[in-house]
């Protein structure tokens, strides 16, 4: 286990947990299982806004993975959002928002591999200066039904993958079958990112760096590969590629 990559994973939060009904962490076991199957050692880091602690946690880890969850605080990407649209934004946890924004910045500053899933994909875009679609049904007329929570581990629709992109190289696919369980999405793309996958209605399904050398591994996906990787090799390969990119190099302290 000496050279097993240590992967820092972000959790969701709950106002009332199981043990004592107080503020708690919450995370599907599928994330940790996907990392373990791919050869990594999962480490779920509690939500904190203590910057030195976040920086040290990233330093000790070999890779960082942002997970799914509730909506992102609108003021972080659109302070002028109309009240009628703001009502569609649910489950905000500002502590988690700032925690994950710090993690993105630290992972990039320390040049650590980063995999961002669903909400994490959205946080990545916001952290680097992009915006979000706050509610797809309201803002994208004629969009697909992206909130298929009834089929979390099923292939619900295809996404078109940009040839030559990291996602294309990992999966070997031009069209990739995915699940879908979200009502928000990346809007205006951050200057340092580029779109590498879209669904048929134009919703952004993957983001990667716009320039080589920006990160040793940086991929944001709107879908949930951790719920597909046990049955679909191309989704398992996302985690294997991420963990491989996170393997400790000589000289790491």
Q: What is the structure's pLDDT at 18? A: 87
Question: Residue 251 — very low, low, confident or very high, per pLDDT cuts 50/70/90?
Answer: very low
Q: Tell me how far the alpha carbon of residue 30 is from its chain's centroid.
A: 14
Check whether 121 has a pLDDT greater than 60: yes
Q: What is the structure's pLDDT at 1? A: 67
Q: How far is it, in rounded angstroms, from Cα 193 to Cα 43? A: 27
pLDDT of 148-194, one tens digit each?
Answer: 999 999 999 999 999 999 999 999 999 999 999 999 999 999 999 99
List of E strands, the chain = 6-9, 12-14, 24-26, 41-44, 63-66, 114-117, 132-133, 157-161, 175-178, 185-186, 193-199, 204-209, 218-221
pLDDT of 62-118, one tens digit each?
Answer: 999 999 999 999 999 999 999 999 999 999 999 999 999 999 999 999 999 999 999
Average pLDDT score, the chain? 95
Domains and CATH numbers, the chain: 6-245 (3.40.50.880)
List of E strands, 97-156 = 114-117, 132-133
Q: How far is it, in rounded angstroms, from Cα 35 to Cα 29? A: 10
Q: Which of 100, 106, 205, 226 is catalytic?
A: 226
Catalytic site includes residue 118: yes
Catalytic site includes residue 100: no
pLDDT of 25-45, one tens digit each?
Answer: 999 999 999 999 999 999 999
Question: Residue 196 — very low, low, confident or very high, per pLDDT cuts 50/70/90?
Answer: very high
Check whether 253 has a pLDDT greater than 80: no
Q: How far is it, in rounded angstroms, from Cα 90 to Cα 70? A: 7
pLDDT of 204-240, one tens digit each?
Answer: 999 999 998 999 999 999 999 999 999 999 999 999 9
Q: Nearest to residue 124, comparing CAs of 98, 99, 92, 100?
A: 100
Catalytic site includes residue 224: yes
Taking the CB of residue 114, how many other CB atoms lie within 10 A of it? 27
Q: Which of 100, 118, 121, 183 is catalytic?
A: 118
Q: Which of 121, 182, 183, 224 is catalytic?
A: 224
């Amino acid at each position: 286990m000496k050279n097993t990559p240590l992967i820092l994973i972000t959790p969701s939060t709950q106002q009332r947990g199981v043990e004592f009904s107080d503020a708690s962490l919450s995370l599907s076991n599928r994330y940790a299982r996907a990392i373990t199957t791919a050869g990594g050692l999962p480490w779920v880091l509690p939500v904190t806004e203590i910057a030195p602690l976040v920086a040290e946690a990233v330093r000790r880890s070999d890779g960082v993975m942002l997970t799914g969850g509730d909506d992102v605080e609108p003021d972080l990407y659109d302070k002028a959002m109309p009240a009628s649209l703001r009502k569609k934004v649910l489950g905000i946890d500002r502590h988690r928002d700032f925690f994950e924004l710090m993690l993105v910045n630290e992972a990039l500053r320390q040049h650590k591999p980063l995999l961002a899933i669903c909400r994490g994909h959205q946080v990545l875009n916001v952290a680097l200066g992009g915006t979000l679609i706050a509610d797809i049904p309201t803002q994208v007329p004629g969009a697909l039904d992206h909130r298929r929570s009834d089929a979390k581990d099923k292939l619900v629709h295809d996404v078109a993958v940009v040839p030559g992109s990291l996602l294309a190289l990992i999966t070997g696919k031009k069209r990739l079958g995915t699940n879908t369980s979200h009502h928000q999405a990346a809007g205006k793309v951050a200057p340092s990112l580029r779109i590498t996958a879209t669904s048929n209605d134009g919703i952004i399904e993957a983001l990667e760096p716009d320039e080589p050398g920006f990160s040793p591994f940086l991929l944001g996906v709107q879908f949930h590969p951790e719920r597909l990787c046990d049955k679909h090799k191309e989704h398992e390969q996302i985690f294997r590629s991420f963990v491989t990119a996170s393997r400790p190099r000589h000289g790491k302290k």
